[in-house]
Structure 1
């Protein structure tokens, strides 16, 4: 668990300036922020709220899942929450030990055997949240504080016999309270494993450490029969153990939180979980665990008035959670009311950048008042400079901050960023956005950068008819190079010979539209639609005659033939 004050507080200068002059000069290390919000020293002073922060701060509002693409500002919102509120519990996703849970031989065996483990997963997440709250609420961090709070719980039981189940639960786990989150996760899983072992035969006990290998170890027919019998016994006993999980204690504990522990309206508590998408590995069991995490968070938020659990999830990851765990009770429509969707307009991004640039300038007294407008050129490529910069972002703060930092470095020693400085900075920026798309979407589509690469040297706008033959030729060459066999490879390999040659092109373009590489203009009178900009839906029937636009952030990296300056993308 991490507490407040996580960003660097060093006194080192954010900018370099010409100390001999009265006017501002860009230095070689000038920056208006960092890609990582946790390390962004400017965030506290220049945080720009586009309306999402108010939803995060309202404990009694249902919105609690921050949803946005990489770089949209999810972590910045949580950092701001830490700055404003005194009682924020930040749970590091590494401490949730998802890797340990996924690697658990028993959990994996139960999952592969079709045993529904939802009840156990919910018990686990409830346990983690409740203990974290108690630790912080009563400052339990050593044996002395543990003993004191247990005495308090016993006194509560004496005064209110109806709390006996909750108090017994706390007494059972009392000696584990000051352990880290990961240790508690392991403790709960170990308890389940011990219960299963205690309920099976001696032969099954021996088999449990290597459950997945039971069939592989059976070389003879008799061994196979014995192996299957043992597996069947463990499955049966596992179902019984899971069905016996006592939720009564947990339910009573939740009532205890509401009525006793968090009853003071003036002491609201927040729990945050961020960066669940980092180092993510596609695994069906992980999606089941996240599903239960979302459900438990929603239920606790609904039942405990002075508590709000805030989860930040990348847009593509939460979409996969619902896709992989669909059942009659877990449908995305039922959870969309919990979303805090992070979308940014061009004007909001302009305001955000202006706050940051003006702050950097104000750190160096100058002979005259200088603002962001004074350090930018009049025009860049026939457009106003901010329009040029923002057009080359996917409407995300991180994109704009990175691009401006590149421009500032290119203008080192100057008082004004010139158009040529921006063009020079765009070369590095565009390549970085190409690589960032590979990182963001590589889990879903391992060949995504190869697919984007097929657009190299295309015109910036085109119809499917304009490029179908060229694209199909490049796609066939891509398949014959034997890349990773993912969804993109299978799509091209399976659909290349369709009677309508445009089908495979359109399906590939659908992927590129989804990730923001392509925009679509359904008709001559309509706007250009982008997946990261509301509204983003385009009717399939409109695509045949639609004009596709390659996003300007990739023009330099892919050597795209640009469109006229008067054509805007937003």
Structure 2
């Protein structure tokens, strides 16, 4: 093979940063780490693809979609959850502080039953729906014990071809009718909305709440249990025919945070329930930090997080796997221009080693959180700066690092903005510190400036809560505020923590996802991640430390 360096042409890229526009590279350069096999195995319980932003969740969803014959996507943006948020009856239940978890599970179970039946019997219109129902009642004539299934198909048989929006509205309308009937004639003048209960006495509120609660607890979810058994026995009984429902974009803003958490928790429960249909698998992609938020907001008595671990498939990438991914994409970009032989990475990037003997690809990888999107962004940024027809040099890599670092900081703000809206200010606490620093490097003056900026922000942000408690003299000390901010920066991936002089540095993307305030308090040193050195004015000329 020739030793000639590969030169970069204008607009060269090794892929897009989102799976939806990166399909060509995904189809040709997919790195199979064994995750796909586990997801396609309907007997394997792992069905929730878990990972941080850019870890490859949507890429796996795309690969499943192109690998099987019977699957469909269900996008939460298309389910009209916001319709529920503005629904009078839902606001009525919220005002009475009645939990609707069972109702949300019923919604998911109904929607998923409808979708798998549409998929199995290719129901696209009313006529095809009628033919399907005729077949259903032939099963039920053989199995007359399933009375609840008969009721269900009698109720919904002529509506299976409708879209998810219409199903959602129909079920909500039924909830309202049942609530009205249960409340009774004596409260017929009470509007089923937040305004309707404002003028009630406390005793009347208690009475109505008791009656309305009966509606939720009496929801016919058991009816759908029987339906699932029926479908498993008669409709999805061929082990050679497998069906997949794929759910992505759960981390987008398709509902307010509280509603979204309740709906995702209900979905997780229903993914477990649908395991009883052996040839059907519901697969969902979920950001790891969002799952933690779901658990925090929906945790009830008896909740055991470990019961859900068997259903989680956490995406983690090794250095070798990321190098393989970049190598495959580089070959795809340049193969037609130069040679049919394999192109090595050192034909693209500087072959000589930098400083302490570091290769270019390793220089880039240690500035990532070991996620595909990070390294793709760095390589694309590098190619953008190469003059037409020239090669990548260390000078260009250094310039790309500066651009990439700023973009990574912005990306972290977007990724964690819902959980830590104060991040754009709290990250300034470590601007200009040494790459490896101690708590003493943080000045009171800088903390005061940051505290002033975030004191009136969202109290859902623990950093804002700590600042407000400190400023109001509620027993929170200045050091407690620093500990809380450093704790959040660790979780986001900005800093690593050395818990004692005998320990190595821990990082949220490699080791434990979070650390306690006590861990931060006793930590001997902190280290700023190299991906943010340039963005945070960290002096890179200081001695290097190993991760």
TM-score of the pair, normalised by structure 1: 0.87
Structure 1 residue 264 corresponds to structure 2 residue 238: yes
Structure 1 residue 330 corresponds to structure 2 residue 308: no
Give the 5 Å matches for 1:344-423.
344-366=317-339, 370-377=343-350, 378-380=352-354, 382=356, 383-423=358-398
- Whole-Å Cα distance in 2 between the matches of residues 230 and 65 of structure 1? 44
Question: Considering only aligned residues, what root-mean-square deviation do their CA atoms show, in Å?
Answer: 2.5
Q: Quickly say closer, same or farther: Cα 1:205–1:314, change in 2 above 3 A.
A: farther
The Cα shift of 1:389 comes to 0.3
Contact 2:493/2:509 (8 A) holds in 1: yes
Q: Quickly say closer, same or farther: Cα 1:249–1:426, change in 2 above 3 A.
A: same
Structure 1: gaps (5+ residues): 1-21, 219-223
- Whole-Å Cα distance in 1 between the matches of residues 340 and 106 of structure 2? 63
Contact 2:470/2:476 (8 A) holds in 1: no
Query: For 1:529, which of 506, 517, 525 is the aligned residue?
Result: 506
> Partner residue of 2:48?
65
Query: For 1:92, which of 75, 80, 97 is the aligned residue?
Result: 75
Contact 1:204/1:230 (8 A) holds in 2: no
Moved more, 194-203 or 245-254: 194-203
Query: For 1:108, which of 67, 91, 95 is the aligned residue?
Result: 91
CA shift digits 1:244-301 (9 cap, x unpaired): 3223421111111211111111111111111111126654343222222111111112
Structure 1 residue 489 corresponds to structure 2 residue 464: yes
- Whole-Å Cα distance in 2 between the matches of residues 159 and 281 of structure 1? 43
The Cα shift of 1:152 comes to 1.0
- Whole-Å Cα distance in 1 between the matches of residues 130 and 140 of structure 2? 15
Moved more, 543-552 or 436-445: 543-552
Contact 1:25/1:412 (8 A) holds in 2: no
Give the 5 Å matches for 1:115-514.
115-201=98-184, 204-209=187-192, 211-214=193-196, 216=198, 218=199, 224-225=200-201, 231-232=205-206, 234-279=208-253, 283-301=257-275, 303-366=276-339, 370-377=343-350, 378-380=352-354, 382=356, 383-465=358-440, 467-468=441-442, 470=443, 472-481=444-453, 483-486=456-459, 487-495=462-470, 502-514=479-491
Q: Quickly say closer, same or farther: Cα 1:360–1:194, change in 2 above 3 A.
A: same
The Cα shift of 1:34 comes to 1.1
- Whole-Å Cα distance in 2 between the matches of residues 368 and 525 of structure 1? 48
Moved more, 105-114 or 136-145: 105-114
- Whole-Å Cα distance in 1 between the matches of residues 256 and 339 of structure 2? 53
The Cα shift of 1:541 comes to 5.1
Contact 2:149/2:226 (8 A) holds in 1: yes
The Cα shift of 1:50 comes to 2.6
- Whole-Å Cα distance in 1 between the matches of residues 340 and 323 of structure 2? 26
Q: Quickly say closer, same or farther: Cα 1:387–1:160, change in 2 above 3 A.
A: same
- Whole-Å Cα distance in 2 between the matches of residues 567 and 365 of structure 1? 39
Q: Quickly say closer, same or farther: Cα 1:199–1:541, change in 2 above 3 A.
A: closer
> Partner residue of 2:534?
556
The Cα shift of 1:129 comes to 0.6
- Whole-Å Cα distance in 1 between the matches of residues 164 and 290 of structure 2? 23
Contact 2:47/2:282 (8 A) holds in 1: yes
Structure 2 residue matching 1:67: 3-state secondary structure:
strand
- Whole-Å Cα distance in 1 between the matches of residues 151 and 353 of structure 2? 71
- Whole-Å Cα distance in 1 between the matches of residues 215 and 112 of structure 2? 23
